Each structure stands twice: as C-alpha cells, then as structure tokens.
Chains A and B, each alone.
Chain A
Amino acid sequence: MFQILHDVNIDWLGNRRWFIGISVLLMLLGLGSAIFRQATGRQAFNLGVDFKGGTVVTARFKQRPPDDAIRSALVSKGINDAVVQPVTDRNDTVLIKVPLEGEGQDGRARVREALSTFGTETPATTELEADPNAAYKIVGTDAVGAIAGAQLRNKAIAVTLAALVGILIYIAVRFEWTYGAAAVIAVFHDVLVTLGFFSIFQLEVSLTVIAALLTLVGFSVNDTIVVFDRIRENRKLHRRDSLYKVTNDSINQTLSRTVIANGLVFLSVLAMVLFGGDVLRGFSLALFIGVVFGTYSSVAVASPIMVWWEQRLEAANRAAALSFNQPVRGGGTRSPAKATGREPITPRARKAGRA
C-alpha cells in the first residue's frame, strides 16, 4: 500500500493566528487594490463587456495584420479607444474590444468598416478558407448594452449571495449554525481573495469568471464539509476530547484525502489553464486561484472560526448555567443539556489538548 500523509499530527489550530493573519492580509491587499484604483480614477476591476457594456468583435484573418495596423485602421474610422488583443492560441485571430458609446450598438458595423481596409470580408455563409478573394471574416461578436451589463452584474451578485444563504441553511440544519456560518465566511473569504487577485493583476472579469467563482463556492464548501463531517463523527466517538483536539485530529485524519482529491482538481484546472485556450482562460484562472484558497480556507479559516465560536457559546452557556439559567446573549438558543455533553474549554484545557 503506497500512501502519503497518514498518522500526521499537526497542530493546525495552534497556528490560527498566522492563518487568519495571512487571510486578512490577502483580503486587505485585494480590497486595497480595488479602492486605490477606484480612488485614483482607474478601474477597480477590469470588467469585460458582459458587465461594462460594449462590443467585442472576433476577427480571423488569412494574413493577420500587425496590431498597430488594425488599431490605426480603427482610429481612421473614428474608433479611438478600441483594444486590439491577439488570441494566444490562434495567431490568425484577434479580439477587437470597443467600449460602449452612448446608446448606439453598431460596434460590429463600425469595426467591419475599419477592417474593410484590409480587404473584403467573407460572406456569412462561407468559410474564410473557402473564399479565395476574402481577407478576413468576423467569426464572433459580443455586444452588450449598458442596461444588460448592469443587469447581468446585479444578477450574478444576487445569485451568488442566494446560493450562499442556501448553503448556510443546509449546513445549519445538518450540523450547527456556527458550522454553517464558519463555512460561509470561509467561502466568502475565498471569493474575496480571488477577486482581489483579479483586481491586483487586472485580469478581465467576464461572465465565465462569475461561473468560476460559483464553482469555487461549491468546491470550497465541499472541502469544508469533509472536515466538519469528520469533526461531527469524532465528537460522538471521543466525547472526552476537547473540540480543539477533535478539530485538529479531524483535519489530520482527512489530510490525505484533502491533498489527493484537491491535488487532482488542481491538476485538472492546471490542464484547463494550459490547454483550455483563450475562451476558457478567465474561467480556469479564477478557478486556479480559487482551488488553492478553497483548500486553504477549510483548514485555516473555517475550522478556527468554528472552534472559536463554539468555545464562546459554551463559555456563555456555562456562565448561564452557573447564574441560575439567566438568558445570555448569543447562548440563549442552546439547551444546557447539549452543552454539558461537551467538555468545557479553557485556555489551560486547550494546552493540555495540544500535548
């Protein structure tokens, strides 16, 4: 039996200050980048046409002219602020991005007019290669108006938040609400950190990136649940152990699974980044960052938050039980019987658990 990482005994929670510190730092970096860019008049995020409005024309040439030639052809037709971006995996194809101007949506027609300086276009019904006279063909267009852009943006945010609430409720029902909250905070953290990367490196945020963030939500929660599930099981088996110890043990016991399964997902996503081409690039990059932090956050964010929260609740409950069951803020919903089944955790008990 070939195996890695069994019988490990790492005190994950002992490093929680480091973990949380790194996470907060990363989130602040991303947030700082977004705020700084916004404040200095630049864009917080490099929003694609899906969210900002505008037109992207994908043109394929028999002999692709230099980018500068395309740009000056566009300028000569009055399109001054277009972005010409070659496609990395097909050197005969360029993306021409024209920002939204007023209400007009004739970006395609205007780009076509500019491109006609390089020769004639293949008619829609024939392929470029089949037409000896043609120089280029417009193989794709994405034109999004301002209304649709705002609508898509709001919808993406609303759907993500709704999905998070759904997850929170399910975990609260299956576990405790503290577990659900911790998982959702961890997911939120992953999304923020990933968005932070997109702001810092000004990677384009398109609809597919949103799809990737949603994938990340699923992936990250999945990973957190595996650990929480083990904690739930171990708490029943080892009632005398502190939550601190049980959580550390659970993370260690599931560590080989975490490394193998997430490692494989990581490799698949890496394959997507390398072989998925430009159309999947935004998606795969977002997922690439997300997989790393989704794995990290289950151990480094969700678990410490859950343990900290549970400890606070139990301390509050104990205090409540001692003072003749007076209601205590935050601990009122918990029955004392449930609480007494668990070992009270004091800093000293925690140290003992570590040893």
Chain B
Amino acid sequence: MKKHNLLARVIIIVVVTLLGLYAVIGPRHRPTLQDFKWSGIKQSLANNIHLGLDLQGGSHLVMRVKTEEFLKRLTDEDFVAAQNAAKDAGYDLKGGRADTGPGNYHIVVEPADPTKIAEIKDAVQKKVELGDTSVWNYSGSGGVLTWSMTSAAERTLADNATTQALNIIESRINALGVTEPTLQTHGAQTSHQILLQMPGVQDPERVKNVLQGESRLELVHVISPPSPQPTQTFATEAEAIASLNSAGTVPPNRKVVPYQERQDAAADPKQPKPRQWVVIEVPAIIDGSELRNASAIQSQGGRADDFEIDFSLKKAGADKFGAWTGSHINEYMGVVLNGEVRSIAFIKSQIYDRGQISGRFTKQTAEDLALTLRSGALPAPIEYLEERTVGPSLGADSIKAGVRASLVGLALVIVFMLFYYRGSGVNAVVALILNMILMMAGLIVFGATLTLPGIAGIILTIGMAVDSNVLIFERIREELRSGKTIPSAVDLGFNRAFITIIDTHVTTIISSLFLFVFGTGPIRGFAVTLVIGLLINLFSAVYVSRTIFIWLLSRKKMESLSI
C-alpha cells in the first residue's frame, strides 16, 4: 500500500462523486443561486430523472397491424383486375377464385377454353402486375391459371404495410398534438406490432379512435338509372345481388356495398334511417391517395352540430375525376368510406377537384376524420392488444410507496452495519450511499427511464451492495482470527472476497442482460437499474471501501481494527 496509490485513488473517487452529483442534482442551465436551495435541487432532480409512464402518468398502447387483411385486399383486387383483363382481351371465363389466408394467397382463373391459357396469361400480365416473379409464382396446369404469392413477398409486403402504418400513425399523432410521444415497432418483426407511449395522456380514447380510423376513401360510380330518376337502392343485400342478373354471384366489375342514407336535419336522430344497399362499379374512379386536403366544415343550413368533410384532389386525381364526371353527367356518384357508402349525389356538371363527405358528423368526429384523411389511409386496419393508462396521482402514489420501501430498507441496513461492524460499518454506509448516487447518475447519463420495477431493481442492488461488504468484512475477520496482521488481513480479505464478488456480479449481470435484450416493459426497466447498480457496486463496494481502509491504515500503525 503505497502513498501515491492512495492519492490517485482519492482523486478518482472525488472526481467520480462530483460528476455523479452533478448528473443527479446539477441544473442543465447556467446555475443561479436558486439551484443551490433545497427547492432548486429538488427541481433539478425532477428535471434530470426520466420517469417511466407508470410513475409520471401517461398512456401505453400496443397495437397490431392486421397485415393479413392488407394481403387479402391486395389479392382480391388483383383477382378482380385479372378477370377484367382477361375479359377485356376477349376471353370467356368459366370461373375462378381468390384464396386468402396466412401463407396461402392464390389467384385462380379458369378459362372456358383451356387451350388458351398461355394467351390469357400474356393478356392478364400485360395489364395486371402478376408478372413479377418475386411476388407471384405462376403455374398453368390443370386447365386453370394460378398465381401464388411467394412467402418472401408475403413477408416483405406485410413488413412494408407495417412501416407504412407506422408512418401514418406518426403523422396522425403529430397532427393531434400529443407531446413527446414515443412510437416504435414492438416485439418480433413478424408480429407487426407498434408501441405508442404518450406521457401525460390520461384518457387515450380519442387518440385510439383517430389512430384506428382506416379512412379508406373512394369515389365510385353508383349503378343506377340517371337523374332525374332516384338512386337505385335495395333493401337487402340479396335483392341488390339479384338485380345484377348473374345467377346470384357478383361479377368482377361490380360490388354490393351498404349505404346509410343521410338524415334530414329535422328528423329524430335516435331513429336512423334503415340501412340500404347499392351496387357500385369496380374499380373506383379515384381513391384517397389522390387527396390533397380535407377539412371539417359546418353543413350548409344544417344545425350547429352538423358537420361535413370538404376535400380537394391533387392534380392527377383531379384530371381523372374531371374527365370521368364530364362524361357521366346526370349519373350518380358515391363517396365510399371504409367500404360503406356515406353519400350519393348526381353529377350536375363536370367536377374537377372538390367534393364533400356528408353524414351528420359532430365537430369533433368531422375534424378527426379530416385529420385521418389528410394523413392517408392505413394500409390495413389496426387492433389494440394492450392499453395501460396511469394517472399522475396513481404514479405519485407508486413513487411514494417505492421510495418509502427503499428508505426503510436502507435505514435497516445502515443501522445494522453500524451496529455489527462498528468503524468498518461506516465504510459500508459510505459505499452504499455513493452507490445510490452513482446509480441515479448512471440512469440519467444513459438516458434510461426509472420505472416501478426499476425501483425494485434499486432495492435488490442495495441488497447486493450490502452482500459485497459483508463478504469482505467477514473475510477480513476470518483472516484476523487466523492471526494475520491488520494490513495483510485487509489485503487478503479484499482479494479473496473480490473473486466471489466478481462471480456473483457477473452471473447476475448476465441474466439481467438477457432480460434487457429480450424482455419487455417492466422487465426491462428492472434489468436496466440492476445492471447499472451492479457495475457501480464494483466501484463503490470494492474500490471506494478499500481506499478508505488504505487511508485508515496509512495514518498510523493500528493496534486493532474496528470491524
């Protein structure tokens, strides 16, 4: 034990302690006198520590993108397009189907004349993107044309849909003005889950609704005799299908969709008009991807709580829309939202780039719908898997309970150590308190959040820190009993106990790393504090405690050691 060694040790410890103290209670701005008062220190502490949602209050939502529905729609649409392409090229079809299920997406087209398969394939692939062999595997055996989606494409498309959904959700969250949200993918990549954390949000109902809005907007041609005759509607789905005269099936270029007719403003809102059905043409004239803007406006002549959506189209969409409306004067056009017709109007004159969606919206629902339309349609619906909301008062209760339990535990430990190990107990207490400070500093420096299970991790760290001290002290006592001199007993005690301490710490750190890498939420918060606490403990319980012993032994020749 040399002198210069001691000096270097003391300098390292003082510097680390000061840095730790600064990280924990230092202000992140130019310090003022206020920052040195008790209230200022508390304020800085509160600013520096990131509290988890369970402690500060907020909402935690886990949602899943239903990518299977995205793939289903894609397959169905391509199937319809393939049939249309074959018919347009002059080939009769006997039948066909689209299979949709995870790992099993097929398009089957059965021509009336099996010898024409090759020609039909060419005709279809010229118009529909089924020729991409990285997505669709073609086979022409058994008198039918079959396109099967490759499993690689299934994965890629599903992943893309999730990424797209994530982007759209992000823009919606920003439009809603949620402060400091955290949005990220969650769990395994194949689970297609998204985690959204919103600090301070106590009632996530509105956010949930806005995020869930699929907002698939289409402007379609409604099959009906032209104005001035009324729109052709049907009371039941079966009636609508029967009107198509195609033996109970819906031809590929038609679709039967529900239609909720708009009520008169004066009518009793509690008595909605019955649901009706209309036949529309497939594909739609234009869809929501052509939207330039959408906003909520008050309906003309409507009541104060009656709102509608006013939308405008991008240049390309407006051109397409203008051309179509110009050639269909007096026919009926429908606005379809998420597969349901919201309003039908006849075309008085050519329309280019504006339209309305009416449907008795309240101000809030109209604004939310406009917001989701602006952000774009979700590629697939989302469902909520997990929702956790903690009010700030509940969070404050948790902090109180956690702090109280930690302090009682800490006090018990300190009293015992001072009683049992006397002078050396002071060592242990200094090491323990330094451990607490540096642990907080570690959490702050690494930007980790402190959660309720994190507090549990702190309590376990207190336990392990005391264990290290007990191991060392008991060992020193043993060496003293076996007749060693005080300096060599201290040396041996530290050296021998250190091996054990390393083994116990490394094992616990290994298991905590597993928890951190593979665990979620609370498990992770626990692992973070434990790992940081244990690493710091190697410094505080071994290095600092030993330095204190070195200092004690260097001052005078000791007759006895208070241990």
Docked-complex contact B388 and A142, CB < 8 angstroms: yes
User: 1/0 contact trace for B378-411 toward A, CB 8 Å?
Assistant: 0000011111111101100110111011001110
Q: Which residues of B contact A271 (CB under 8 A)?
A: 405, 408-409, 412
Docked-complex contact B504 and A166, CB < 8 angstroms: no
With an 8 Å Cβ cutoff, the count of chain B residues facing the other chain is 75
- When A159-B519, A261-B466 are in contact, do A167 and B413 touch as well, CB less than 8 Å? no
Docked-complex contact A124 and B202, CB < 8 angstroms: yes
Q: Which residues of A contact B237 (CB under 8 A)?
A: none
Docked-complex contact B389 and A140, CB < 8 angstroms: yes
Docked-complex contact A143 and B386, CB < 8 angstroms: yes
Q: How far is the CB of B306 from chain A (nearest CB, A)?
A: 25
With an 8 Å Cβ cutoff, the count of chain A residues facing the other chain is 81
- When A143-B386, A222-B508, A257-B474 are in contact, do A264 and B503 touch as well, CB less than 8 Å? no
B436 interfacial by beta-carbon distance below 8 Å:
no
Docked-complex contact B463 and A219, CB < 8 angstroms: yes
User: 1/0 contact trace for A80-94 toward B, CB 8 Å?
Assistant: 000000000110000
Q: Which residues of B contact A279 (CB under 8 A)?
A: 397-398, 401-402, 452
A276 interfacial by beta-carbon distance below 8 Å:
yes
Select B387's contact among A143, A229, A256, beta carbons within 8 Å.
Answer: A143
Docked-complex contact A272 and B523, CB < 8 angstroms: no
How far does the alpha carbon of A103 sit from the alpha carbon of B390 in the complex, in Å? 23
Select A148's contact among B62, B398, B481, beta carbons within 8 Å.
Answer: B62
How far does the alpha carbon of A140 sit from the alpha carbon of B394 in the complex, in Å? 7
Select A283's contact among B456, B467, B513, B515, beta carbons within 8 Å.
Answer: B456
Residues of B402-426 whose CB lies within 8 A of A: 402, 404-405, 408-410, 412-413, 416, 419-420, 422
A43 interfacial by beta-carbon distance below 8 Å:
no
Q: Which residues of A contact B453 (CB under 8 A)?
A: 208, 211, 283
- When A218-B511, A253-B478, A264-B463 are in contact, do A226 and B504 touch as well, CB less than 8 Å? yes
Docked-complex contact A139 and B393, CB < 8 angstroms: yes
Docked-complex contact A144 and B385, CB < 8 angstroms: yes
How far does the alpha carbon of A147 sit from the alpha carbon of B456 in the complex, in Å? 28
Nearest B residue to A283 by beta-carbon distance? B456
A324 interfacial by beta-carbon distance below 8 Å:
no
B97 interfacial by beta-carbon distance below 8 Å:
no
Residues of A261-318 whose CB lies within 8 A of B: 261, 264-265, 267-269, 271-272, 274-280, 283-284, 287
Docked-complex contact A159 and B518, CB < 8 angstroms: yes
Q: Which residues of A contact B393 (CB under 8 A)?
A: 60, 127-128, 139
Q: How far is the CB of B542 from chain A (nearest CB, A)?
A: 15
Docked-complex contact A276 and B507, CB < 8 angstroms: no
User: 1/0 contact trace for A112-150 toward B, CB 8 Å?
Assistant: 000000000000110110000000011111111101100
User: 1/0 contact trace for B456-493 toward A, CB 8 Å?
Assistant: 11011011101100110010011001000000000000
- When A155-B518, A163-B514 are in contact, do A1 and B563 touch as well, CB less than 8 Å? yes
- When A3-B477, A124-B202, A279-B401 are in contact, do A208 and B452 touch as well, CB less than 8 Å? yes
Docked-complex contact B523 and A207, CB < 8 angstroms: yes
How far does the alpha carbon of A167 sit from the alpha carbon of B507 in the complex, in Å? 6
How far does the alpha carbon of A279 sit from the alpha carbon of B202 in the complex, in Å? 19
Q: How far is the CB of A85 from chain B (nearest CB, A)?
A: 15
Q: How far is the CB of B466 from chain A (nearest CB, A)?
A: 5
Tell me the interface secondary structure of chain A in the complex.
helix
Docked-complex contact A280 and B203, CB < 8 angstroms: no
How far does the alpha carbon of A210 sit from the alpha carbon of B460 in the complex, in Å? 15
Docked-complex contact A211 and B526, CB < 8 angstroms: yes
- When A147-B64, A280-B456 are in contact, do A170 and B519 touch as well, CB less than 8 Å? no
Docked-complex contact A260 and B510, CB < 8 angstroms: no
Q: How far is the CB of B211 from chain A (nearest CB, A)?
A: 13
How far does the alpha carbon of A267 sit from the alpha carbon of B463 in the complex, in Å? 10
Select A275's contact among B203, B388, B404, B510, beta carbons within 8 Å.
Answer: B404
Q: Which residues of B contact A3 (CB under 8 A)?
A: 420, 477
Nearest B residue to A187 by beta-carbon distance? B511
Docked-complex contact B504 and A214, CB < 8 angstroms: no
B67 interfacial by beta-carbon distance below 8 Å:
no
Q: How far is the CB of A223 from chain B (nearest CB, A)?
A: 8
A158 interfacial by beta-carbon distance below 8 Å:
yes
Nearest A residue to B59 by beta-carbon distance? A141
Interface centre among B394, B402, B512 (most CB of A within 10 A): B394
How far does the alpha carbon of A340 sit from the alpha carbon of B387 in the complex, in Å? 62
Docked-complex contact A147 and B385, CB < 8 angstroms: yes
Docked-complex contact B387 and A267, CB < 8 angstroms: no
Q: Which residues of B contact A171 (CB under 8 A)?
A: 507
Nearest B residue to A58 by beta-carbon distance? B394
Q: Which residues of B contact A159 (CB under 8 A)?
A: 514-515, 518-519, 523
Select A276's contact among B386, B402, B422, B563, beta carbons within 8 Å.
Answer: B402
How far does the alpha carbon of A3 sit from the alpha carbon of B481 in the complex, in Å? 12
How far does the alpha carbon of A279 sit from the alpha carbon of B9 in the complex, in Å? 42
Docked-complex contact B203 and A124, CB < 8 angstroms: yes
Q: How far is the CB of B406 from chain A (nearest CB, A)?
A: 8
Q: How far is the CB of B457 from chain A (nearest CB, A)?
A: 8
Q: Which residues of B contact A125 (CB under 8 A)?
A: 202
- When A140-B394, A272-B409 are in contact, do A166 and B452 touch as well, CB less than 8 Å? no
User: 1/0 contact trace for A160-194 toward B, CB 8 Å?
Assistant: 00111011001100100000000000000000000
- When A3-B477, A147-B64 are in contact, do A264 and B510 touch as well, CB less than 8 Å? no
Residues of B34-58 whose CB lies within 8 A of A: none
Q: Which residues of A contact B364 (CB under 8 A)?
A: none
Select A141's contact among B64, B387, B467, B515, beta carbons within 8 Å.
Answer: B387
How far does the alpha carbon of A253 sit from the alpha carbon of B504 in the complex, in Å? 18
B191 interfacial by beta-carbon distance below 8 Å:
yes
User: 1/0 contact trace for A200-240 toward B, CB 8 Å?
Assistant: 00000001101110110111011001100110010000000
How far does the alpha carbon of A229 sit from the alpha carbon of B475 in the complex, in Å? 13
Docked-complex contact A218 and B460, CB < 8 angstroms: yes
How far does the alpha carbon of A163 sit from the alpha carbon of B531 in the complex, in Å? 14
Docked-complex contact B385 and A155, CB < 8 angstroms: no
Docked-complex contact A174 and B503, CB < 8 angstroms: yes
Q: Which residues of B contact A283 (CB under 8 A)?
A: 453, 456
Docked-complex contact B514 and A233, CB < 8 angstroms: no
Select A257's contact among B389, B470, B499, B508, beta carbons within 8 Å.
Answer: B470
B558 interfacial by beta-carbon distance below 8 Å:
no
Nearest B residue to A232 by beta-carbon distance? B499
Nearest B residue to A222 by beta-carbon distance? B504
Docked-complex contact A221 and B191, CB < 8 angstroms: no
Nearest A residue to B400 by beta-carbon distance? A277
How far does the alpha carbon of A21 sit from the alpha carbon of B512 in the complex, in Å? 32
B102 interfacial by beta-carbon distance below 8 Å:
no
Q: How far is the CB of A287 from chain B (nearest CB, A)?
A: 8
How far does the alpha carbon of A219 sit from the alpha carbon of B512 in the complex, in Å? 12
A46 interfacial by beta-carbon distance below 8 Å:
no
B500 interfacial by beta-carbon distance below 8 Å:
yes
B205 interfacial by beta-carbon distance below 8 Å:
yes
Q: Which residues of A contact B513 (CB under 8 A)?
A: 166
A355 interfacial by beta-carbon distance below 8 Å:
no
Nearest B residue to A268 by beta-carbon distance? B409
A/B interface sample: 10 pairs, CB < 8 A: A3-B420, A139-B391, A141-B387, A166-B511, A170-B507, A217-B511, A222-B464, A265-B467, A268-B463, A279-B452
Q: A229-B500, A276-B404 are in contact. List 19 more A-B contacts (CB 8 A).
A: A1-B563, A90-B397, A105-B384, A139-B390, A145-B386, A159-B514, A211-B522, A212-B456, A219-B460, A233-B499, A261-B463, A267-B409, A268-B412, A268-B413, A268-B459, A269-B409, A272-B409, A279-B397, A280-B402
9 cross-chain pairs, A with B, having the tightest CB-CB distances, nearest first = A268-B409, A277-B401, A139-B391, A148-B385, A163-B511, A271-B408, A124-B203, A265-B463, A276-B405
| Residues of A bordering B, CB below 8 Å | 1-3, 6, 58, 60, 89-90, 103, 105, 108-109, 124-125, 127-128, 137-145, 147-148, 151-152, 155-156, 158-159, 162-164, 166-167, 170-171, 174, 207-208, 210-212, 214-215, 217-219, 221-222, 225-226, 229-230, 233, 253-254, 256-257, 260-261, 264-265, 267-269, 271-272, 274-280, 283-284, 287
